[in-house]
Amino acid sequence: MPRAENLLKEASSPYLLQHAENPVHWRQWGAEALAEAAEEKKPILLSIGYAACHWCHVMAHESFEDAATAAEMNRLYVNIKVDREERPDIDHFYMRALQAMGEHGGWPLTMFLTPEGAPFWGGTYFPPEPRWGKPSFRQVLVAIAEAWQRDPEKAAGNARELAAHLAALGRAEPGRLPDAETLGRLAASLMAAQDPEEGGFRGAPKFPNAPLARFLWQDSFRSGRGEARGAVRLLLERMSMGGIYDHLGGGFSRYSTDAHWLVPHFEKMLYDNALILELLALAYAETPDTLFAARAAETVGWLEREMRAGRGEKFGFAASQDADSEGEEGKFYVWDEAEVASVLGPAAEEFKAAYDVTPGGNWEGRTILRRVRPLGDVALEARLAEARAQLFATRAARVPPGRDDKVLADWNGLAVAALARAAAVFDEPRWLTLAEGVFDFVLDALGQADERVAHAWRGGRVSAAGLLEDQAAMARAALALYEATGDRRRLEAAVRIVAATEARFAGSEGAFFTSADDAPDLPLGGASRALVAEDHAVPSGNGMLAEVFARLFHLTGADSWRVKAERVIGAFMGRAGALVGSPGLLGAAELLVGGASVVIAGRLPELGSVARRAPDPAVVVMEILDPAAVPAGHPAAGKAAGAYVCRGGVCSLPATEPAMLAAMLRRT
């Protein structure tokens, strides 16, 4: 007999543990839960969310903690709870199913499944009473159960049709690699949607969308049109001044609910901050800006201070910080004017003028700090920094938001790559040491015997198998460290991870599946293995892997890497309407054809520093002390000591001065 109890107490995920005391008889996703549904002949209620999700908390308080609602759930369904960060493969499959039904996606994701796990109806948040044109959650529970009991075969038939549709979406659609005209057209379409006043895409809510911004930045070097770089700089400026940024503790929130970057949902995600840190470094490398330097340093400070998760001195970074504290969204972060005045005393007026602190507040009667005065002289900024430190110390006495301290390989890989670039651009060697330590911890904690990298770790326990994004992000991180240090062990680590990826994730036409071929608990078995190229908040595994292949080609000169890059990019080029949503693949295609391989042969640290500070993402750096060790297939093989810029299989004359090398790296 199934256990009539909540089984989430056996989980390691902080999100699942948040629900361990619910009166709902929750199960974790897996074969046992599916077997229970089959035995009971009950449909499945699947609820997917994450620890920092505000509306997930709301639905939990309103419905999952309510005894009467829980009783209905337990009577009518087998109830399964999934942490989307721990199982993004499960989340992606059912989110696509919801969108295929014509519904908008979001979290919490609420899906109704056949006992086999096939989706037949779904939604997102449901209120406890009819509201906003939505039925109550209890009305939904009863209506879906009655429909299932009345005609289970009809529901199963709908599920089969939907599953077939989803399977078709998971097939490769090969096409020609994008040429300059295609890249320019797609970049122009993205530029047409930019907000010329506030940055980012027009309207609200506003998301950073770092993968698209990075593509625009890279494409501007290809095309020579600086307006795209201007759009990215505007995005970074507005975010860095806005309420989406934590001006006391550092770090960016997930997104802004308004069109002015003022009011965030206050959760902070590791992946957002990693990707934004990389953008700040690229923008600063092009044109130094004290605002970007400050935000980069403060964000790294937040990572070091608040996001460590591991074993003592060895650590990776935690996944997120919550939006809520004491059951209230943003309570930890907002201020009253009187409170600011009390803490700062005579210094308050200057601070209030700089950070939009008013008696009436700028959000629900309180103030979200945002910088409304431009950065001033050194003396002013020193006084404001002291004021921020005082407010930070006062804020530290408040009840802090929760933290999801699981370590995710893909998000940590993004952070390592960003730290490696930022260390070079901002001349912070300590950040490079931090990046290397995090990379080593992730491989130690999550590395598998067959060289794959698992996905999630917490408290000494691996809780989720590795996905394509984990392998690709960690291989990309290894190459970032190799380019930053010249340490060949990092290159070898990347090649080993790639080999394991090719062995277990390869699909048709050169594409790669999100899940490995031995994944034990996928919905509907192998039919749900997806081929994904679209980037969302996190770059796609196929996009990152294409970049890895392209970088390996430029680093080694081996034509086999070029072929692999072309195959994975080409596998998705038939999806003409979806290409604009695949900036990672597009950037990899441009890197493959237009990228520069900078070879620093010999001990030339000043030239190596110039190459690593290049603002163009399509610059690949290889520093080798012995010129004879340049790979035989590389166009710089056999050359004397010096710095060479190689494009299209042809290398420049050796650069001997930093300014000379910087000029050679400009594409226009």
% the chain with pLDDT above 90: 88
Range in 101-110, 439-448, 567-576 the model is least confident about: 101-110
**Separation of alpha carbons 537 and 388, rounded Å:** 30
CA angle (598, 556, 180) in 5-degree steps: 65
Give pLDDT, residue 308. 97
Q: How many residues does the chain have?
A: 668
The residue type at 120: F
Give pLDDT, residue 1. 64
Of 163 and 637, the one with more pLDDT? 637
- Please state the rounded mean pLDDT for residues 329-344: 97
Give pLDDT, residue 422. 98
DSSP 362: S
Max avg pLDDT among 1-10, 250-259, 529-538 = 250-259
Buried b (16+ CB within 10 A) or exposed e, 215-246: bbbbbbbbbebeebbbbbbbbbbbbbbbbbbb
The residue type at 461: R
Q: Is the pLDDT of residue 162 over 90?
A: no
Please write the tens of the pLDDT for every residue from 266-315: 999 999 999 999 999 999 999 999 999 999 999 999 999 999 999 889 99
Q: Is the peptide bond before 205 cis (omega within 30 degrees of 0)?
A: yes
Give pLDDT, residue 155. 81
Range in 423-437, 484-498, 621-635 the model is least confident about: 621-635
Give pLDDT, residue 157. 83
- Please state the rounded mean pLDDT for residues 409-434: 98
Q: Is the pLDDT of residue 178 over 80?
A: yes
Element (H, E) at 82: strand 78-83
263: burial class by Cβ within 10 Å (0-12, 13-18, 19+)? buried
- Please state the rounded mean pLDDT for residues 337-357: 98
Q: What is the dihedral of CA 492, 494, 499, 505, to 10 degrees?
A: 170
Please write the tens of the pLDDT for every residue from 433-472: 999 999 999 999 999 999 999 999 999 999 999 999 999 9
133 band by pLDDT with thresholds 50, 70 and 90: confident
* DSSP E strands, 199-272: 255-256, 264-265, 268-269
Contact 439, 478 (CB under 8 A): yes
Of 525 and 440, the one with more pLDDT? 440
**Separation of alpha carbons 556 and 84, rounded Å:** 37
**Separation of alpha carbons 447 and 355, rounded Å:** 45
- Please state the rounded mean pLDDT for residues 251-268: 96
Q: Which two tokens stand for residue 116?
A: 């086999």
- Please state the rounded mean pLDDT for residues 155-169: 77
Q: Is the peptide bond before 108 cis (omega within 30 degrees of 0)?
A: yes
From the list 668, 659, 630, the residue with the least C-alpha distance to 651 is 630
169 band by pLDDT with thresholds 50, 70 and 90: low
Q: What is the dihedral of CA 326, 332, 335, 336, to 10 degrees?
A: 20
Q: Say what the pTM is.
A: 0.95
Q: Is the pLDDT of residue 367 over 80?
A: yes
- Please state the rounded mean pLDDT for residues 245-249: 98
Give pLDDT, residue 668. 60
59 band by pLDDT with thresholds 50, 70 and 90: very high
